[in-house]
Amino acid sequence: MIAIIDYGMGNLGSVMNACRYLGLEASLVKTPAALGKAKAVVLPGVGAFGDCMKHLVGQGLAEAIREWILAGRPYLGICLGLQILCNGSEESAGVNGLSIITMRVRRFESLPAEMKVPHMGWNQIHINESACGILKGIGDGEFFYFVHSYYVPETEDGTAAWTEYGTRFCSVYHCGNLFAVQFHPERSHRAGLRVLRNFAAIAEKT
């Protein structure tokens, strides 16, 4: 079973619908105890960094997710589900993230006039790590759907793919069984469904 984290925010319906379409067994999870039957965790994300962390901490899920990841169990973060892996974000001063990625989330600044914030719409990913499991069958330059005002900078290790929008940023992060994407696979048609299917296959083998 894939546990989709329900913390009172996020695009849960779209992610659940994508899982159903693919024939994947998935359930909404609101408590750490409910993770016991799960093979994998998906954390969808829409909204503010600080609000997300407040809900996760309040439900006891922040530490449970951190322990899950550090134990090497399959995790897929989507959009904000990538950003909360960092130490913190310019969006929410003084709010700590999960500190899995030693990086601070930044806001798009000093963009050309034609580039609006949020970064919204279709954009390409450029693959650094062809062996990244969730990118199996995905070509370099493939288009995915993005909606975000903040981004995770490229990292020396872990940036499996990058995207450019005024600046280069990490659009796919990978380390072991930890995967996270800045785009929305559930809104990215065939390529996005391929990412979700690939993640489910990894979870089955773990």
> Can you give the residue ranges of every domain in the chain?
2-205
- By percentage, how much of the chain surpasses pLDDT 90? 82
Q: CA-based angle 60:186:148, to the nearest 5?
A: 75
Sheet containing 178-181, strands listed edge to edge, beginning at the edge strand earlier in sequence: 26-29, 2-5, 40-43, 75-78, 178-181, 168-175, 159-164, 126-127
69-94 mean pLDDT: 96
Residues forming the active site: 79, 184, 186
- By percentage, how much of the chain surpasses pLDDT 70? 100
pTM of the model: 0.95
Q: Tens digits of per-residue pLDDT, 22-68?
A: 999 999 999 999 998 899 999 998 889 999 999 999 999 999 999 99
Give the whole-angstrom CA distance, residue 51 versus residue 145.
23
Q: Which pLDDT does position 131 carry in this prediction?
A: 86
Question: What is the CATH T-level fold of the domain 2-205, as seen in this structure?
Answer: Rossmann fold (3.40.50)
